[in-house]
Amino acid sequence: MKTLQNTSDFKKKALHWANQFDVCCLLDSNEYKDSYSEYDFIIAAGLREDLKCFGGAAFEKLKAFYETHQQWLFGFFSYDLKNELENLQSENSDYLSFPDLYFFVPEYLIAVKHGKIEVLLGDPSLLAEIDAFKPALSTKLPALDVKQRITKGQYISKVELLKSHIIRGDIYEVNFCQEFFAEHAAINPVQTFEILNQVSPTPFAGYFKFHHQYILSATPERFLCKRGSKLISQPIKGTARRSDMPEEDEQIKTALRNDAKEQSENVMIVDLVRHDLTRSAVKGSVKVDELFGIYTFPQVHQMISTISCELDANLHFIDAIKNAFPMGSMTGAPKVKAMELIEQYEETKRGVYSGSFGCISPSGDFDFNVVIRSIIYNAVNQYLSFQVGGAITYHCEPEKEYEECLLKASAILKVLGVESYQK
């Protein structure tokens, strides 16, 4: 174990070094204090073994893959794995073509905690190689023509239709998303991620390279974490803008904490997550550790709740992930009907967006984020995409929901050189 003199400089070199490989992953807490995170950041690179699934018993295959290797695994779950968990299908357009599930055993693994660096896989001489690595000089990002898949008018019309389903009693809440995209986008993924991570540092940020496909994520949300026998989920529901004026910023934060509409949206998802965890829990162990916690990030304040349970010893931990997937904060309630309506009213297949990526340790502990506030990129067809959305409830106002979408998109739009977006 070695002490780092300059953590950010090492992280930059290590990411550029890792990006030379066909497959790599960075998970970065950006030094947010979190009692469940095992490392401040961890970088996996190179490929020993991997598992790629395009639907069909993907979770069972992952279980077998873990049992075969019982080694560090890094990977992602696509939102559309829902189709093998429920009687659902996805027929919307897909321009990114990610697998439904992908995991790999890395050749090299480096972790940092409190400025102490550890080589978990590979020779310790690796550190000198990374330290001597010269990242390519940064270049100005190309100007991208970012478009919306649907217009503001179409968005508002769809929200009104979803509200009619709520009035009929089909659902209580649904997470409805819209896509922003750019074609012919010749970006440098590492450099773009670095800028995103500077503009919007978040506790579950990450970079995932899968050959020519990339996830560049500034997500603030944890999907599910396992530490020992404990499962932890931390759904986000409730968003408010930031202000440059400290007094006003504090007032906005207080207003979010006391907003009855945001609280009702949050508690619906808390109930949904409690139900999902109950399927994997020791009877009576599911509890809400924190309700309506307010957390501050560079662009927004967020309302985050924490739910935990003890994992039933007779259940494989992969089944616990399966039982909670997709995450309630990105679906709605009741979950299956909400997912049906998502397919009906959204225009683009979600794919890895609103899915999850993260890692599994040799002991079976794991930590997975929610893929939001993220750029998804296919370098072969030069298609770049990011989606934003929010909770649609009976009390929501379509115009305000649209404004919240633009607020959530603001960091990515800034990174891509789009200073304002009012289309």
Confidence of residue 4 (pLDDT cuts 50, 70, 90): confident
Res. 422: pLDDT tops 60: no
Q: What is the pTM of this model?
A: 0.96
Is 12 marked active-site?
A: no
List the catalytic residue out of 173, 179, 194, 221: 221
Condensed to tens digits (0 to 9), the pLDDT of residues 125-177 reads 999 999 999 888 777 777 899 999 999 999 999 999 999 999 999 999 999 99
pLDDT of residue 138: 76
Confidence of residue 71 (pLDDT cuts 50, 70, 90): very high
Confidence of residue 34 (pLDDT cuts 50, 70, 90): confident
Condensed to tens digits (0 to 9), the pLDDT of residues 81-138 reads 999 999 999 999 999 999 999 999 999 999 999 889 999 999 999 999 999 998 887 7
Q: Is the dihedral of CA 228, 236, 388, 170 positive or negative?
A: positive
Is 287 marked active-site?
A: no
Backbone phi and psi for residue 160, each to the nearest 5 degrees, phi listed first: -60, -40
CB-side neighbour CA atoms (13 Å) of 5? 1
Helix orientation angle between 152-168 and 398-415, rounded to the nearest 10 degrees: 130
Counting residues of the chain whose pLDDT is more than 70, the rounded percentage is 99
* CB 215 within 8 Å of CB 385: no
Higher pLDDT, 290 or 135: 290
Mean pLDDT confidence for 400-416: 94
Q: How many CB atoms lie within 10 A of CB 129?
A: 13
Residue 191: closest CA among 254, 235, 141? 141
CATH of segment(s) 2-132+144-415: 3.60.120.10
Element counts in the chain: helices (H) and strands (E): 11, 22
Domain ranges of the chain: 2-132+144-415
Strand partners, 208: 25, 215
Confidence of residue 420 (pLDDT cuts 50, 70, 90): low
* CB 322 within 8 Å of CB 280: no
List the catalytic residue out of 13, 158, 226, 237: 237
